[in-house]
Chains A and B, each alone.
Chain A
Amino acid sequence: MEVKAICIPLELSKLDRLIHDPTRLMLVSFLYVVDSADFVFLKNQTNLTAGNISSHMTKLEDAGYVKVEKRFVGKRPQTMFRLTAKGRRAFDGYRNLFSSALSGLPKCK
């Protein structure tokens, strides 16, 4: 059987895997278009579970992409998330790289 060579642009291998994950991509996209948002807002907008958001945000925070601020509003705890300058640069870089990599892919028939 003849295996056809598939030409995948090398750029794809350079993609930021931390952002490339679909759930994190969604969270980062939301934070990119606002200044900051709290946990409840992100949960409502993305329909993700609390545990899911927590685990992904921890990864993004560890990478320095997201700043997390915990506080109390009255008796309610509030966790605010904000994309850092590093996170914004990483997302811009990811978008540019992904767009150029996609444009290099052969068109589907």
Chain B
Amino acid sequence: MSMLDTTDLDQLEERVYHSIWEDGLIDIFVGLALFLIGLFWVSQDSAYGSFVAPILVPLWAVARKRISEPRMGVVILGPQRMLKEKKKLLGLFLFGVFTFTLGIGWYALEPSGGEAPSWVANSIAGLPAALLAVPAIIVAFAFGLGRFFVYALILLVSAIPVVVLDLRPGWAFIPSGVFCLVVGASLLARFLRKYPLAD
């Protein structure tokens, strides 16, 4: 009987939605992206970092098709959920545009190289990791993926030694990336055990 309540149907929809993220692939690819961007930045080849996301996003889609879908099956979410997802992605995109514009604006308005306040100048190396923690928190809230709060926290914590020891900003990305990779790999291992490939 309770199965028929609207609340229970909502819960059922939530359950279906969360099953999509059970495979840990999103964590693996986010971790890989953070690790590679960090590595390129540290090795002073940061330009290569800009290629990471355009390469990894299609690879993630392929991995889902090859690994998740044959095991867990395919579900196409309802129109209301799809609309919600589009709004969330738009929010993330707008955040990216806002951050990018802010960064460009800063340089454009400070042609002399910037007379930034001393606290900003001192902590600038930790800023990229801190900024990246924001979309991680948005993802955690919007997609109901609590583990992204932890990733955000690690990004923030990793920024501290970078600022204190005056390291290259990429160093803050590497521990977060490795942590995401480890979590993703353990989720994937559990997923593969739970959903063996059918004959």
Interface, chain A (partner B; CB < 8 A): 25-26, 29-30, 32-45, 73, 76, 78, 80, 94-95, 98-99, 102
Contact of A40 (CB < 8 Å), options: B12, B15, B73, B82 = B73
**Stretch of B1-9, B30-38, B97-105, B122-130 that contacts chain A:** B1-9
For the complex with contacts A35-B79, A38-B75, 17 further pairs of A-B residues with Cβ separation under 8 Å are A26-B3, A29-B4, A29-B12, A34-B16, A34-B75, A35-B76, A35-B77, A38-B73, A39-B73, A40-B71, A40-B198, A41-B72, A44-B73, A45-B15, A45-B19, A80-B74, A94-B4
Interface residue? B195 (CB, 8 A): yes
Dominant secondary structure at the A interface: helix
Given known A33-B9, A33-B78, contact A98–B1 (CB-CB < 8 A): yes
Interface residue? B13 (CB, 8 A): yes
Residues of chain B within 8 A of A36, CB atoms compared:
75-76
Measured in the bound complex, the distance between the Cα atoms of B69 and A95 in whole Å is: 32
Count: A-B pairs, CB below 8 Å: 66
Residues of chain B within 8 A of A99, CB atoms compared:
4
Residues of chain A within 8 A of B72, CB atoms compared:
40-41, 44
Are B195 and A44 closer than 8 Å at their CB atoms?
Answer: yes
The residues in B between 50 and 82 inclusive whose CB is less than 8 angstroms from any CB of A are: 69-79, 82
Are B16 and A98 closer than 8 Å at their CB atoms?
Answer: no
Pairs A-B, 9 closest by C-beta atoms:
A41-B73, A40-B73, A33-B13, A35-B76, A38-B74, A37-B75, A36-B76, A95-B4, A41-B75
Are A76 and B77 closer than 8 Å at their CB atoms?
Answer: no
Measured in the bound complex, the distance between the Cα atoms of B75 and A41 in whole Å is: 7
Are A37 and B70 closer than 8 Å at their CB atoms?
Answer: no
Given known A30-B16, A34-B13, A44-B195, contact A25–B75 (CB-CB < 8 A): no
Given known A29-B9, A34-B78, A35-B78, contact A102–B73 (CB-CB < 8 A): no
Please list 7 pairs of residues, one from A and one from B, whose beta carbons are closer than 8 Å in the complex, sorted by A's number. A37-B74, A37-B75, A40-B71, A43-B73, A44-B72, A44-B195, A78-B74
